[in-house]
Amino acid sequence: MMIEYPLYPGSVFFKDEMPIRVERALEFPYLTRHRHDFVEVAYIEDGDGLHYVGDKILRVSRGDLFLIPAYETHVFQPEELTGERPLRIINCLCQANKLGGAASQIPRSWRAYREHGGEFKRLLGRMFLEQRESSEASGRNLLELWKQLTELLQSKSVKEDIQYVASGEVPVHQVLQHMSSRVMSRLTLSEMSRFVSMSSRHFQRVFKSVTGRSFMQMLQEMRIRYSCGMLQYTSWSIQSIAEKVGIYDMNYFYRLFRENCGMTPAAFRLLHNRGGKP
């Protein structure tokens, strides 16, 4: 069965007339593949990991940069799944269709590049700082820096020594991706064991040794983190959100949420809400 990966609309990320947004992100092990209706330039600032893009899995490390066109499915995942060695990324999001003559020709398929002297990091770092200024001059500077970035990419050859990964090489990573795509469904240990052709007992041992959590602990954390996104970006009721992540006992949901986030769902929404709509 084909999975319909979620589409993240630009309206969630671009709240003003500026068609460029630069963010620093810490990638969680269980973020799901997704699509967006804008272009993304993703730079690996620190760490090692995997990049699921299209129908491929690639190994990534510090200094790699990806140009991801609109509507391409992708997600990053840290190589180390306990959180001790996180994967840090600088994301430059761009509504290229709003840039007019400042937009470069964006390829229809993803491309990978490798820096050799910190040139990507310096340029994206400057863009991140300009965005924080929020002035008319900084907006012009940000557009000019985007132009410099696209010109730099056009002058570079694509990365040739890409390391592709077979799904069987990273079974626990694949389980987490499978879980993330079905977080709203009823997931069981035996189902996940069969997914990677292991006995339930062996799967539990392997899973905990790789992630530092039991299967149920990871599933609970995943569901709460997904509910955080819904609280932040939608106006759905707290009960609706709990049900959408597969939790129907509200007392249990509130307890799990407080244990993972240190506050109630309502307090989290008040602190983080960006005015999103469902």
Per-residue pLDDT at 173? 95
Question: Could you give the C-alpha distances from 140 to 11, 17, 91, 145, 150, in angstroms and in order?
Answer: 21, 12, 19, 9, 16
Local confidence pLDDT in tens for the 278 residues of the chain: 456 678 888 888 887 788 999 999 999 898 888 999 999 999 999 999 999 999 999 999 999 999 999 999 999 999 999 989 999 999 999 998 887 655 556 777 899 999 999 999 999 999 999 988 878 888 899 999 999 999 999 899 999 899 999 988 999 999 999 898 888 788 899 999 999 999 999 999 999 999 999 999 999 999 998 899 889 888 899 999 999 898 999 999 999 999 999 999 999 999 987 544 33
Gap between the Cα atoms of 207 and 187, Å rounded:
15
List the domain boundaries for the chain.
7-155, 182-272
- Can you give the pLDDT at residue 103? 53
- What pLDDT was estimated at residue 278? 35
- Report the Cα–Cα distance between both ends of the chain, in Å, rounded: 26
Please report, for the chain, how many H helices and E strands are present, in that order: 10, 10
> For residues 32 and 89, what is the distance between their CA atoms, to the nearest angstrom?
16
Neighbour count for residue 271 (Cβ, 10 Å): 11
Phi first, then psi: what are they for 275, rounded to 5°?
80, 25
Contact 41, 66 (CB under 8 A): yes
CB 65 within 8 A of CB 43: yes
Among the four given CATH numbers 3.30.230.30, 3.40.50.2300, 2.60.120.280, 3.30.70.60, the one describing domain 7-155? 2.60.120.280
Q: Of the CATH numbers 3.40.50.10320, 3.40.50.300, 1.10.287.370, 1.10.10.60, which one belongs to the domain with range 182-272?
A: 1.10.10.60
